[in-house]
Amino acid sequence: MKTISIDPITRLEGHGKIEIFLNDKGDVENAYFQVPELRGFEVFCLGRPVEELPRIVTRICGV
Amino acid sequence: MGKLKFALYWGAACGGCDVAVLDTHEKILDIAAAADILFWPVAMDFKYRDVEEMVDKSIDVCLFNGAIRNSENEHIAHLLRQKSKVLVAFGACAQLGGIPGLANEKRRQEILDFVYQRSPSTVSRKGVYPQETTPVPEGELKLPKFYDTVMALDQVVDVDYYVPGCPPEPARILAVVQAIVTGNLPPKGAVVGALDKALCDSCPRKREEKKVKTFYRPHEILFDPERCFLEQGLICLGPATRGGCGDPPRCIRSNMPCRGCYGPPPDVTDQGAKMLSAVGSIIDSQDPKEIEKVIDVIVDPLGTFYRFGLPASALRKKRFP
């Protein structure tokens, strides 16, 4: 099956890619959107002083 | 001579470094006049394949922001190193590991378990985690490998220059671009776009005597907005941080103590150790028991002293039993 990869997705904040699978007729059989990134703010913010979080979680997205 | 060829990329990052480049406002037009941009995911449509097809060293300067968190970040770091004459670690994450580097206090599996299973805001099938390879009816999907340890850029590839900051100050970015365009670059390995002194040097606050009986969190005291934070018992990373974020320094002018995003000052390798030594020198006591009590008041020493630089520090990552 032929594939078209859009990697990376551009002009937005963050990492993403799209895999498009084409069937024998050249039509789209299926498409998948994937996010190949994780930093783990959910975990490394735990236990930090609450007054520090405004200066940590602002780095989730700076756009 | 033709126009310079620039590339900009983000590893494990927030996009703030890219926005800082755009925050040069109308001067971005001068950058565009001096250089063609061959790759910049946040702003332009070039793909990884376009970079792969470039002749080696055909990019004059690549500004790489973001830490190395997964195999994709590392792969692209190698690719851009191969294609670039000059590779710049741009911003705190690329220089030191940055905020994403705080994850080096956790185990890899601990992060995956919480994010994909236990987080109250996540709905996930039990035991389902992202896989490097996932078979689907039409073929195969691939994701990068999520590393155990977050790294700075120079822990995976050779780096020519470092531009510190979270994010780098736009005025300093322009100065760096100017230096590149005029070919006026310092010796390899230099930190550019910052001062060669500690942040305290450019701090306008009154300094009297640095002797403290205890440390405070900001809500615990009414502090004088004109006076040195440290003298009032508020942890400020000024003595352990390179100046250059602004005049007066960026957080200081917002009445917030420094957290160290410009990295260690010249001749300091470990920012947290330098801060510990500064803290040690201002505690007003000779009694080890009392000193221990004062130190215990500091709530999150690791996350405070190594806020932006755990991966590049001597600690690098927490050791687990």
Render pLDDT for B8-17 as a digit per residue (tens, 0 to 9).
Answer: 999 999 999 9
Question: Which of B18, B103, B259 is opposite residue A39, by nearest beta carbon?
Answer: B103
Interface predicted TM-score of the whole assembly (ipTM), two decimals: 0.96
**pLDDT score recorded for residue B180:** 87
Position A58 pLDDT exceeds 60 = yes
What topology is assigned to B4-99+150-181 in CATH?
A: Rossmann fold (3.40.50)
**pLDDT score recorded for residue B8:** 97
> Cβ B41–A8 below 8 Å, yes or no?
yes
**In Å, how far from its chain's centre is CA A59?**
15
> Which of A51, A59, A61 is the best mutation test for B, with the most CBs of B within 10 A?
A59
**pLDDT score recorded for residue B250:** 95
* Number of other residues whose CB lies within 10 A of the CB of residue B29: 10
> What tokens appear for B35 in the block?
């250089």
**pLDDT score recorded for residue B20:** 96
What are the boundaries of each domain within chain A?
2-57
> Which of A4, A22, A43 is the best mutation test for B, with the most CBs of B within 10 A?
A43
**pLDDT score recorded for residue B37:** 95
**pLDDT score recorded for residue B277:** 95
**In Å, how far from its chain's centre is CA A33?**
9
**pLDDT score recorded for residue B313:** 97
**pLDDT score recorded for residue B1:** 56
In this structure, what DSSP letter does residue B194 have? Answer: S
Residues of chain B with pLDDT under 70: 1
d(CA B152, CA B89): 9
Rounded to two decimals, the pTM is 0.96
d(CA B208, CA B81): 48
C-beta separation of B108 from B70 below 8 A: no
Using CB atoms and an 8 Å cut-off, which of residues 176-215 of chain B contact chain A?
A: none
> Taken in order A7, A9, A13, A16, is the CA torsion positive or negative?
negative
**pLDDT score recorded for residue B288:** 93
Using CB atoms and an 8 Å cut-off, which of residues 55-84 of chain B contact chain A?
A: 69-70, 72
> Cβ B72–A40 below 8 Å, yes or no?
no
In chain A, which residues have their Cβ closer than 8 Å to the Cβ of B12?
37, 39
> Taken in order A58, A63, B4, B5, is the CA torsion positive or negative?
positive
Instruction: Compute the mean pLDDT over every residue in chain A, rounded to the nearest whole number.
Output: 95
Q: Where in chain B do CATH 3.40.50.700 domains reside?
A: 4-99+150-181
